[in-house]
Structure 1
Amino acid sequence: MPLFIGTSGWQYKDWRGVLYPADLPVRLWLEEYAARFATVEVNNAFYRLPTRENFEAWRDRVPSDFVVAVKASRYLTHVKRLRDPGEPVDRLMTHAAGLGARLGPVLLQLPPTLRADPALLDACLACFPPSARIAVEPRHDSWWIPEVREVLRSRGAALCWADVRARPVTPLWRTADWGYVRFHEGRAQPWPRYGRQSLETWAERIAHTWPEGADVYAYFNNDPGGAAVEDAMTFGRAARREGRRVTRLPERVEQT
């Protein structure tokens, strides 16, 4: 399978003239995005879970090979803080099922104040359907312990490899036969771009960790100024040099 490369969201005003032609109506941006990328992470589902009808509408607007990753609602991760997960997980998955075969991984980004609790995480992961791919992005250093790694491994969940300012902020654990990587902010100019060397290093890490044929999902969350779009293109070229097959990417950016 290819390395899936996309961005965290697609509807940013400052992407007009970068990813989207200046005269393209906003209502057609998803179709344009899906013609140039093969995957997206729905980041705004964290703030407000879309209805099943919303997910169904997106499903019908993108090609059959398009993959949608969904960031779990903050109600589960930040309000409930993983406690009593049954109802929030069921609601999340019932809504996201509207994507049908286009549904990809679900991301659980944990609050930075939530300390490690392997049993709590295990109970939450147990509520997801066995076929679901769940990536977990802890943000408190207490999570980097063997007990957490074993919970992820036993549940087939991927530790989300996260980058902030061109360095890993998570251990580079491989806990599943698939992977998930998020790029939050680079150190190059113009901000928040990533430098070529940084992206080449990440491409090498992925190539050396997962065998050819493993699914790895990589999303750029540094959206200001279209940085995510340009960095995704650069990262894709670096991955190809490492011998990886990658999903479609824009061949160029628009000129304003």
Structure 2
Amino acid sequence: MGQIRVGTSGWVYPPWRGVFYPAGLAQKRELAYLSERLDSVEINGSFYSLQRPSSYQMWAEQTPDDFVFAVKGSRFITHIKRLRDGDTLLANFLASGPLALGPKLGPILWQLPPNFSFDAQVLDAFLAHLPRTTAQAVEVAQRHDYRVDPAHTTTDADRPMRYAMEIRHDSFATPRFTELLTRHGVALVVADSAGKYPLLEEVTADFVYIRLHGHDELYVSGYTDDDLDTWAAKIRGWAESCDAYAYFDNDAKVMAPRDAIALRTRLVA
């Protein structure tokens, strides 16, 4: 059996305070509180802007030894440069602090925009440039530019790097795409998005990455007991041959932590 981890996409949400987080809990204690109930979380601030190495170090210190962070890749790479001419941007992203997570660094998520259609040549070139180990990531990070200061360009050990890709355009529903991911060992994100975006479930790597955005309404609706039972069964099936990471992104009405805890309870029971 592979290892299963369940978490939420992010943890800093004002509506969670007094609902999921106890009233009066200091904001700086929120990650620690969540990590006592779940065993992983997506860092999504890294999608919007480069974070600082000190932030990654602080997050690692606030969580248990066996906790793992998924890190969302920069939107400047996926949405602005659209995976093209991104060598310096990739170096900047890696130098901004993910390697400071040490053994708590999990998969890096690349989320493509809805208007990004399948382009095998562009995707192949981008995936081929991704470092496959933390030692290779250090070499890439050392090529960062002035935008990253201070930078973190060391690793405490040489470990494999994992990547996942989330698509949001129907043109990706082709064997050419899944074959490309398989060749590069990159996981196809299984994204439940209330029917708005494609839901593909092929296994293309040694792990499966699931994002649960809301069953009926994107980012808002929760999952029923039957829904959670269905997802738990799917994840158990995938975990027979690979690791699985599942993250809830239905945060608008504080559904994400509730559903994540409920799913994890089903999977660890």
Q: What's the TM-score bracket when you normalise by the shorter of the two chains?
A: 0.7 to 0.9
Aligned residues: 238
Read off the aligned partner of 1:101 and give its amino acid letter.
P
The answer for the alignment partner of 1:124 in structure 2 is 126
Q: How far off is 1:168 after superposition? A: 7.9
Change (3 A) 1:109 1:69: same
Q: Which residue does 1:60 correspond to in 2?
A: 61
Residues 135 and 159 in structure 1, CA contact (< 8 A), matched pair in contact too: yes
CA distance in 2, matches of 1:41, 1:160: 13
The equivalent residue for 1:39 is 40
What secondary structure is seen at the aligned counterpart in 2 of 1:225? Answer: coil
> Take 1:187 and 1:240, find their aligned partners in 2: how far apart are those partners?
26
Task: Pick the aligned partner of 2:173 from 124, 144, 164.
Answer: 144
Corresponding position of 2:212 = 183
Secondary structure of 1:36's match? Answer: coil
Residue of 242, 246, 251 corresponding to 1:223? 251
Distance change in 2, residues 1:117/1:168 (3 Å): closer
Instruction: Please state how far the C-alpha of 1:207 moved relative to its aligned partner.
Output: 2.1
> Deviation digits for residues 141-177 of structure 1, max 9, x if unmatched?
1011122111100111000000012798322111012
Secondary structure of 2:206's match? coil
Superposed CA deviations along residues 187-230 of structure 1, whole A, max 9, x for unmatched, are: 38xx5211121221122222223316x31100000112320011
TM-score, structure 2 length as denominator? 0.83
1:224/1:30 CA distance change after superposition, 3 Å: same
Distance 1:61 1:194 in 2: 29
Matches within 5 A, 1:131-170: 131-165=160-194, 169-170=198-199
Distance 1:215 1:115 in 2: 28
Q: Is the 8 A contact 2:120 2:177 kept in 1?
A: yes
Structure 1 unaligned blocks of 5 or more: 242-256
Q: Which has the higher contact order (CA 8 A, sep 6+)?
A: 1
- Taking structure 1 as the reference length, what is the TM-score of the superposition? 0.87
State the SS of the aligned residue for 1:70: strand
